[in-house]
Amino acid sequence: MSQDAKFLLSLYRTMLLIRQFEERVKFLFLEGSMPGTIHQYQGQEAVATGVCAALNAGDVITSTHRPHGHAIARGVGVEPMMHELFGKVTGCCHGKGGSMHIGDLEKGMVPAIAIVGGNVPIATGIALAFKMRKEKRVAVSFMGDGAINEGAFHEAVNMGAIWSLPVVYVIENNLYSASTPIAQTVKLKHLSDRSAGYGIPGVTVDGNDVLAVFEAAKTAVARARAGEGPTLLECVTYRITGHSRRDPCHYQPEAERKQALLKEPIGRFAKHLMAAGIAGQTALDGIRREVDAEIEASVKSAMAAADPKPEDALNDVFA
Amino acid sequence: MSQDAKFLLSLYRTMLLIRQFEERVKFLFLEGSMPGTIHQYQGQEAVATGVCAALNAGDVITSTHRPHGHAIARGVGVEPMMHELFGKVTGCCHGKGGSMHIGDLEKGMVPAIAIVGGNVPIATGIALAFKMRKEKRVAVSFMGDGAINEGAFHEAVNMGAIWSLPVVYVIENNLYSASTPIAQTVKLKHLSDRSAGYGIPGVTVDGNDVLAVFEAAKTAVARARAGEGPTLLECVTYRITGHSRRDPCHYQPEAERKQALLKEPIGRFAKHLMAAGIAGQTALDGIRREVDAEIEASVKSAMAAADPKPEDALNDVFA
Amino acid sequence: MERKTIAEALRDGLREEMTRDERVFCIGEDIAIPGGWGGAFTVTLGLEKEFPERMINTPISEAGLFGAALGAAMMGMHPVADVQYGDFLLCAMDQIVDQIAKMRYMSGGRIKVPITMRAPVGATGRGAQHAQNLESIFFSVPGIKIVCPATAYDAKGLLKAAIRDENPVLIFEHKLLYGSKGARAESGAVDASSEIPEQDYIVPIGKGVVRREGTDVTVIGTLMMMHRALQAAEQLAGEGISVEVIDPRSLVPFDWELVEASVRKTGRAVVVEEGPRRGGVGAEIAAELAERVSDYLTAPVKRVASPDIPVPFSPPMEDFYRPDAARIVEAVRKIVS
Amino acid sequence: MERKTIAEALRDGLREEMTRDERVFCIGEDIAIPGGWGGAFTVTLGLEKEFPERMINTPISEAGLFGAALGAAMMGMHPVADVQYGDFLLCAMDQIVDQIAKMRYMSGGRIKVPITMRAPVGATGRGAQHAQNLESIFFSVPGIKIVCPATAYDAKGLLKAAIRDENPVLIFEHKLLYGSKGARAESGAVDASSEIPEQDYIVPIGKGVVRREGTDVTVIGTLMMMHRALQAAEQLAGEGISVEVIDPRSLVPFDWELVEASVRKTGRAVVVEEGPRRGGVGAEIAAELAERVSDYLTAPVKRVASPDIPVPFSPPMEDFYRPDAARIVEAVRKIVS
Ligand SMILES: Cc1ncc(C[n+]2csc(CCOP(=O)(O)OP(=O)(O)O)c2C)c(N)n1
Ligand SMILES: Cc1ncc(C[n+]2csc(CCOP(=O)(O)OP(=O)(O)O)c2C)c(N)n1
Ligand SMILES: [Mg+2]
Ligand SMILES: [Mg+2]
């Protein structure tokens, strides 16, 4: 297989891993075996996958209340993630974080921040450290369309801009912040237009087209790495599951949901792979079996893993 | 005298009242007879004067740590202001506010907010009330160039924009936030360019030209009053005194300061009035004597006025 | 009289106050979306149909929305501003603590600031940033009244009192007490529903209530801890220990009269709170009681609180974090022994 | 040994730590402007010449700058982030309380967050928004250490300890104790200068100090209140009352051992603080002492604090607000009588 084909299949695999992970988690959650609350990533897989494919090992991402996709794409690993969701001591945050704080800095992902907009200044600071130490590393901040109305976003992007920091601000515009449609929260055609207020480039891409996301991210990351400063990258996508928990999404028009399902990134990319002769249905089915097996193994091991001891709660406040 | 000439002379008088007030206060402060700290308005008089001249009686302004000019232009009155600066019980805030919180809501000015950016959401809320009650009133938020990097600014302006509120956001760009030059805090040619991020108009005017400010404000206020939403109005000016207290301004290049003095608004407007035959030197001198007398009277009465009783401190926490 | 949950009672309270007074309006995130949830815990569900112009659905901009509420309040409106989780109050901290709490004072008493603020608190399996009990932080801020309803009756009555108050009032509501239904139901929820009178009523701010009479020890707690205290009292009754349970309902102002009278009677007090112990509300109550009724205290006031740690996610650790009836029982046993 | 003010001692401390460790840098507003002031109180004056790349002068963006410090700290840097007035911490509240304080915990102890935060406190004639003592607010937040130096020696030693600590440390500094000079001098300032050793030293976080020995009553206070306590002790000595003055220096962790030992000796304690009384640090100290050394206390712990009001501007009211030596004297007289 060509390098190129391998790469494309790896994108497919990552997206599918995210989707299947989320579907399995949703089931576990609904059947009541998983604690906590969840915000899921179905429909947005191309964004995390495309952006993270443009990163190097030393780069670092920050994430949100909806972090599973970012974590998988960044390589945190399905097993430590699943353990964390189950609150097990073997989870990537030893059970202290949970779904909304999943991450692993050793893998290049800061524990996710569940305060909307709260992760953006942190990414700016990570990039500041890189620049001060003259390291050729890049920070990426993922955020939803709702986050761009938080003050923290504003302060952080402006700092990134004035100091020409190696950071990419990625807006995942899924058209809703929780239940509120985008038209009620900003008065812009493209959210990337907000870049004009900071004097940095803004780009809008089809966030359901993994290759378009990858290309745009590659450019933005290269700019950042070259010392040319941040980019505000908007990826337009759609959340094809509830905002959290058992949200029935009655606020999304039926027709809009239907349309979105037709445009969801995985089926679409599968078609592309097949049309381009890169993989047939059998190969794709094989990937799916692999992915499902990996997830299933993680569920098994997570269910079997030990709970933290109650008094473990007292540790880890201070170093 | 024509209506027009009267109006122009009133602008001149207001600017001079601000200037002389500030000079007198500076002296009182330096000689040690006035308590507290002060942030003064010398050099920026055209902004407050031009903007407030465009307002109606029912309109409301919010202000900053540098509020004396706004207060005078809005008609709070030199006497209650001077009393407040001296911390007298007869001050416009009964001595509880001081320089940084001067104001009088009955005159259309909210007590000034000394938290940079903090007044912007408040102005948005005032405008929201006007709109909800279908009153044809307008809110104006004055802010410095430094304030536009606060999260509160961002959140507030976006809200003003999406709800098309009757509010005007006025940036007084005096090229510095405290000691920090504007080039270190934003990466924009015009601060009004930030309006593009909110989908509202942005306008930049010469903030030392009181008529230019007045015209721009008139347009913005009319837009707001007509229900067409906010404007981001940048007035470029210069602070020809220290940031606060005894600041010697060593961070401002000598040449820049000299240039700024040549362009300061009052001398410039005096020349215009004389050239246009609206007033001669004698008339202007007369205004000056009037203004000085008003200020002097306020100093006298303030010095003679009663201090609050210490235990008055316990009142006014709750209604 | 009809039995209602806290979420329903608050919704009724909002509806009645908005009907009674045109100046009342709600401002918050996801509070007014047709087909939506009525805020994070269903409190405002459907109100957007009745009051389309007075349910202001905001972007995710907490500083902006609390500041806007302040501006509107100064113009004579009576906003009810809410956050989806109490933790997000921290994003609006400057507006609340520096502006809302101080505006009247800075004006020399010339301005009124009739704002009601609503914030859900309590650890509920969501991790450290959706869990905090922030009573101790706001408790020390002059200029804000604070109420903590533990029942639906009180929730409605205190909300209505808050809306009619001419000052900033912060209402802490507990996620596990709302009784939110359907997709927004909470696991681990406790029934806090009440019979609600047909007629208009308020619960005065600053007045506590004796939830259970007793003679051996006074246990003081609000919100979820009030319910845990009642459980503990029931259990202790079986052991022959008579516990008086007091629900102060308001933290600012605080009903010292009621609490003092009880402690003068029992001679012992245990203060329970869900937030961390250090600098908590319990510290203030304990320190004040030591000064106010020292002659009556037969033992130092005991505090039951969470440890000084962020809220952990995993259920066994979260259960360890949050005080429960067993810990109250233990503290009472110690103090009476 | 040379005598230095707090501002000078802090400046030396920053210089030494930045020289010692490349990871240390400063980030704040107006801290690195040639011809500027070195922050609001001259602490960083001139450091931008010595460390041009490690003095990060920011826009007015407190949430942004504290968040940036957090990001940099996670990457192994040791930022020293400051606000010009402690009040502005409220603008960065989410970053400090939700992110900085909790990041290590949420990661399950896998991340270190070596951040030093500096914030001037104290009422100084500037009105309600440039005056607050916010100790009580941050005191109840798990995950942040808090220190309060009252002398130049401690300021330098605690700053250096904070920078070397692998955890978030918040330093409250008092505007009237800095000894800032020239155009930035403060009226009403108190001399807090010390002889500073030539050699490197730190003051360990969590260790208090007895400032004056005594036998009748223990007075506990930090920052300006430590100086007022010493004044009061001097005056009371003339009346034959022997006061032991303890400066805890750190609020989190707190040196219980030292304070308990003193109170076991004197049998009486007065806790002084500049912030409002309700929910203050004094409440915690009083409540804990009541539990820890109840057998030794011959009277309930007394608290001296400001009233529960915003800080008024006018000098007579501000003087009334802030506890002074006279009020401490009065409290001590009462407790020993
Ligand atoms: C500061 C803050 N305010 C509110 C919330 C509650 N909340 C959680 S997710 C969410 C919507 C976020 O929308 P968006 O940024 O578009 O991300 P999405 O959920 O669409 O991925 C809200 C309001 C929060 N977590 N943090
Ligand atoms: C939130 C906040 N941060 C910092 C300060 C300290 N401070 C007071 S004025 C000022 C500079 C403000 O600059 P700008 O907005 O341009 O107004 P100007 O002083 O030039 O009128 C600063 C940093 C403050 N008052 N509030
Ligand atoms: Mg979204
Ligand atoms: Mg400026």
Q: Could you state, in order of their start, the residue ranges of all structural domains in chain C? A: 2-196, 209-336
Nearest-Cα distance to chain D for B9, in Å, is 35
- Cβ B97–D321 below 8 Å, yes or no? no
**Ligand 1 centre from A147 Cα, in Å?**
7
Alpha-carbon distances of D202 from A261, D16, D247, D288, rounded to whole Å = 62, 12, 16, 28
What is the mean pLDDT of the segment spanning B169-190?
98
3-state SS assignment for residue C150? coil
Question: Any idea which residue has 């108050």 for tokens?
Answer: C165
Q: Which atom in ligand 1 lies closest to the alpha carbon of residue C30?
A: 23
pLDDT value at position C186? Answer: 86
Q: What are the strands of the beta sheet with C145-147, ordered from one edge?
A: C55-57, C24-28, C78-82, C116-121, C169-174, C145-147, C250-252
Pick from C182, C33, C48: which is nearest to A177 by CA?
C33
B115 in ligand 2 pocket by Cβ < 6 Å? yes
- Cβ B155–A155 below 8 Å, yes or no? no
B34-38, B209-213, C224-228, D64-68: segment of lowest average pLDDT: B34-38
D29 in ligand 2 pocket by Cβ < 6 Å? yes
pLDDT value at position A302? Answer: 98
> Is residue D65 very low, low, confident or very high in pLDDT (cuts 50, 70, 90)?
very high
Q: Output the 3-class SS for chain B.
A: CCHHHHHHHHHHHHHHHHHHHHHHHHHHHHCCCCCCCCCCCCCCHHHHHHHHCCCCCCCEEECCCCCHHHHHHHCCCHHHHHHHHCCCCCCCCCCCCCHHHCCEHHHCECCCCCCCCCHHHHHHHHHHHHHHCCCCCCEEEEEEHHHHHCHHHHHHHHHHHHCCCCEEEEEEECCEECCEEHHHCCCCCCHHHHHHHCCCCEEEEECCCHHHHHHHHHHHHHHHHCCCCCEEEEEECCCCCCCCCCCCCCCCCHHHHHHHHHCCHHHHHHHHHHHCCCCCHHHHHHHHHHHHHHHHHHHHHHHHCCCCCHHHHHCCCCC
Token pair for D172: 């409250």
Is a pLDDT exceeding 80 seen at residue A212? yes
Higher pLDDT, A87 or A1: A87
| Residues with a CB atom less than 6 Å from ligand 1 | A 65-66, 114-116, 144-147, 174, 176-178, 243; C 29, 60, 62, 84, 88, 91
Q: What is the rounded average pLDDT for all residues in chain A?
A: 97
**Ligand 4 centre from A195 Cα, in Å?**
23
Q: Please, which chains are in contact with B (at least 3 CB pairs closer than 8 A)?
A: A, C, D
Q: Which domains does chain B have, with CATH numbers?
A: 3-308 (3.40.50.970)
Q: pLDDT tens across D265-318, in order?
A: 999 999 999 999 999 999 999 999 999 999 999 999 999 999 999 999 999 999
How much of chain A exceeds pLDDT 90, in percent?
Answer: 98
What is the mean pLDDT of the segment spanning D185-205?
94
pLDDT value at position D37? Answer: 93
3-state SS assignment for residue C31? coil
Nearest-Cα distance to chain B for C105, in Å, is 5
- Cβ A97–D107 below 8 Å, yes or no? yes
Global pTM? Answer: 0.98
> Is residue B33 very low, low, confident or very high in pLDDT (cuts 50, 70, 90)?
very high
Domain C209-336 listed as CATH 3.40.50.920 = yes
> Is residue C79 very low, low, confident or very high in pLDDT (cuts 50, 70, 90)?
very high
Residues 112-141 of C with CB under 8 A from D: 127-129, 136-137, 139-141
Is a pLDDT exceeding 90 seen at residue D187? no
Q: pLDDT tens across C115-138, in order?
A: 999 999 999 999 999 999 999 999
Report the alpha-carbon angle A136-A138-A140, nearest 5.
180
> Is residue B48 very low, low, confident or very high in pLDDT (cuts 50, 70, 90)?
very high
Pick from D240, D249, D232, D235: which is nearest to D215 by CA?
D240
B194 touches chain A (CB under 8 A): yes
What is the mean pLDDT of the segment spanning B144-156?
98
Q: pLDDT tens across C143-186, in order?
A: 999 999 999 999 999 999 999 999 999 999 999 999 988 877 88
C80 touches chain B (CB under 8 A): no
Residue C139: how many other CB atoms lie within 10 Å: 26
pLDDT value at position C249? Answer: 98
- Cβ C284–D276 below 8 Å, yes or no? no
> Is residue B288 very low, low, confident or very high in pLDDT (cuts 50, 70, 90)?
very high
D94 touches chain B (CB under 8 A): no
B179 in ligand 2 pocket by Cβ < 6 Å? no
Is a pLDDT exceeding 90 seen at residue C206? yes
pLDDT value at position D203? Answer: 98
Ligand 2 site-directed mutation target among D60, D132, D134, most atoms within 8 Å of CB? D60
D58-62, D96-100, D180-184: segment of lowest average pLDDT: D180-184
B307 touches chain D (CB under 8 A): yes
Is a pLDDT exceeding 90 seen at residue D183? no
Residue D130 falls in the annotated catalytic set: yes
Give me the residue from A114, A146, A248 closest to C60, CB to CB.
Answer: A146
**Ligand 4 centre from A221 Cα, in Å?**
34
Q: Per the residue annotation, which of D78, D130, D174, D227 is the catalytic one?
A: D130
pLDDT value at position C240? Answer: 97
- Cβ D71–A124 below 8 Å, yes or no? yes
Is a pLDDT exceeding 90 seen at residue D185? no
- Cβ C105–D97 below 8 Å, yes or no? no
> Is residue A3 very low, low, confident or very high in pLDDT (cuts 50, 70, 90)?
confident
Q: A233 phi and psi, to 5 degrees?
A: -110, 115
Please, where are the H alpha helices in chain A?
A: 3-30, 45-53, 68-74, 78-85, 119-132, 151-162, 210-225, 254-263, 265-275, 281-304
> Is residue B34 very low, low, confident or very high in pLDDT (cuts 50, 70, 90)?
very high
pLDDT value at position D94? Answer: 98
Is a pLDDT exceeding 90 seen at residue A245? no
> Is residue A132 very low, low, confident or very high in pLDDT (cuts 50, 70, 90)?
very high
Higher pLDDT, C184 or B290: B290
B188 touches chain A (CB under 8 A): yes
Is a pLDDT exceeding 90 seen at residue A246? no
Is a pLDDT exceeding 90 seen at residue C187? no
pLDDT value at position C183? Answer: 78
Residues 142-171 of B with CB under 8 A from A: 149-155, 158, 161-162
Which residue, by CA, sits nearest to atom 22 of ligand 1? A178
> Is residue A30 very low, low, confident or very high in pLDDT (cuts 50, 70, 90)?
very high
What is the mean pLDDT of the segment spanning A298-309?
98
Pick from C134, D227, B136: which is nearest to D219 by CA?
D227
Return the CATH fold of C2-196.
Rossmann fold (3.40.50)
Ligand 2 site-directed mutation target among B65, B185, B238, most atoms within 8 Å of CB? B65
Q: pLDDT tens across C48-69, in order?
A: 999 999 999 999 999 999 999 9
pLDDT value at position C184? Answer: 79
- Are C2-196 and C209-336 the same fold in CATH? yes
Q: pLDDT tens across B51-108, in order?
A: 999 999 999 999 999 999 999 999 999 999 999 999 999 999 999 999 999 999 999 9
Q: What is the rounded average pLDDT for all residues in chain D?
A: 97
Is a pLDDT exceeding 80 seen at residue A1? no
pLDDT value at position C180? Answer: 81
> Is residue C32 very low, low, confident or very high in pLDDT (cuts 50, 70, 90)?
very high
Nearest-Cα distance to chain C for B71, in Å, is 14
What is the mean pLDDT of the segment spanning D80-101?
98
